[in-house]
Amino acid sequence: MKPSLESQDSDRALRHLCELARTTFTDELSPREQAGWSRLDAKMAGGPRPRRILAVGFGLAAAAAAVVFLAYSWNQKSPSLGFRIVDETGVPHAAPDLDSAGRIEFSDGSKVTVAAQTRASVTAIDALGARIRLEHGRLSAQFVQLPQASWSIAAGPYQVLVTGTAFDVSWTPDTRALELWLRHGSVLVKGPNAGQGLAVVAGQHLLASATTGQIVLDAMAPAVPPALPTLSSADLAPAVSPASERPALASHEPSRAPRAAPAARAPAPEPSLTWPQALARGDFQRILDEAARRGLDDVLSGASSADLAAFADAARYGRKNDLAQRALLAQRQRFPQTLAGRDAAFLLGTLDESRAGRDAQTSALRWYGRYLVENPTGSYSGQALGRRLVLFESMHDRAAAREAASLYLAKFPSGPYAAEAKRIVETE
């Protein structure tokens, strides 16, 4: 007897769905499950199918269709990123924050490592990134660069906006100081005296004070690990307890005169550091104190280029801008052809920009312009161009701002100031 038209339609649908199930699942099936598929194939190749075979086939096919649908839906709508928080030993935490050493790991591969005595938390998360709050301490962030990625770290009144980059950042609530070391990529820092945002690029270091409003941007000093204490053989000898605390000797043991405890040794003097070494260790006050002992005039007229640069940086970090300006001007006068001499022009611009008033802004523009003439492809060139367009915009010089924005976009179309430059160019 011929199978009915309804039965033929069911057969065709079943074959189609089973083929979908086979292509979806068979790569991951066990040998036993593969044998089941073979038996189902044999039944399908025969005559009319019993109801039980139809039910099994349609069940498997429906499962495959569900998997395909979920995969399609996943691709159509990006889910929110996932994250987990683990302590320094790798044990997961249920809370969305850390108040000790540990890591925040995101499902896209991004990672935030939190130092000891630091408190940080994830305050929001979506498909493009997360918002992290640093309440105090230091963390190291490494964000994967993906299209339209959006990450931010809030610390006090500051925001660090990032896409794909790696950097260290610290926040000290007592002094209201933010410090940033950028190792890869670029970020935009917003906060007091940062205008529309201050761009920081790879290899740069930023120090910002919310108390004074001062912002210092310079090249990142190489890290110098702290010196490890050295121990002599005498330091490793077991300590001798006082006679009153030692057990009495047995009568048959020959008496011994108590061994005198080693005399306390004066600590070895700390080896002398060069000023660049002291700067790398963060010992800015040492440099300022030694400069005062040597005499400021002698330092400005006789110090090497490297020492002058270290002295200028120490003065800027110590918020002694007048000293820093004198050191940078001496660098310009005595070593104009060196890299430090050319970089001094940019740093003089940042000192002027930290002061209030139109005259200070005009002076900053001149220094940035001079730096670009002397070092058009230098490490600060993008920053100098970006600061110029921001300054022209804040001074309401629309023509100059538009010209500076166009120049910036021509050289740095994807730079950290690109969004601001495009807005200026497109504004009538």
Give the confidence band of 262 by pLDDT, cuts at 50, 70, 90: very low
Q: What distance in Å separates the CA atoms of residue 206 and residue 380, rounded to the nearest whole number?
A: 13
Report strand pairing: 130-142 vs 151-155.
parallel
Task: Name the pTM for this structure.
Answer: 0.48
Give phi and psi for 161, each to the nearest 5: -100, 130
CA torsion through residues 97, 101, 104, 105, sign: negative
- The whole-number pLDDT of residue 27 equals 44
Quote the pLDDT of residue 380.
84
Domain 275-426: which CATH number of 1.10.287.610, 1.25.40.10, 3.60.9.10, 3.10.290.10: 1.25.40.10
Q: What per-residue confidence (pLDDT) applies to 116? A: 82
- Rounded Cα distance, 258 and 243, in Å: 7
Per-residue pLDDT at 15: 58
Helix, strand, coil abundance in the chain, percent, nearest 5: 45, 20, 35
Sign of CA dihedral 405, 408, 412, 416: negative
Q: Model confidence over 304-359: pLDDT tens digits?
A: 998 999 899 888 888 888 999 999 999 999 998 888 899 999 999 989 988 878 99
Phi, psi of 354 (to 5 degrees): -75, -15
- Per-residue pLDDT tens digits for 75-102: 344 567 888 888 777 777 766 677 777 8
3-state secondary structure of 169: strand
Residue 365's pLDDT is 94
**For the chain, where do the domains classified as CATH 2.60.120.1440 start and end?**
83-219
What's the confidence (pLDDT) of residue 155? 93
**Contact (Cβ atoms closer than 8 angstroms) between residue 344 and residue 313:** no
Number of neighbours of residue 237 by Cβ within 10 angstroms: 9
Annotation: CATH topology of 83-219: Jelly Rolls (2.60.120)
- Tens digits of residue pLDDT in 397-409: 999 999 999 999 9
pLDDT digits (tens, 9 = 90+) for 61-74: 555 444 444 433 33
Q: How far apart are CA 365 and CA 400, in angstroms?
A: 11
Residues of the chain with CATH 1.25.40.10: 275-426
For the record, the structure tokens of 76 come out as: 């159509």
pLDDT of residue 299: 94
| Mean pLDDT over the full length of the chain | 74
Check residue 94 and give its pLDDT: 67
**According to the model, what pLDDT value does residue 415 have?**
78
The residue-averaged pLDDT of 27-41 equals: 51
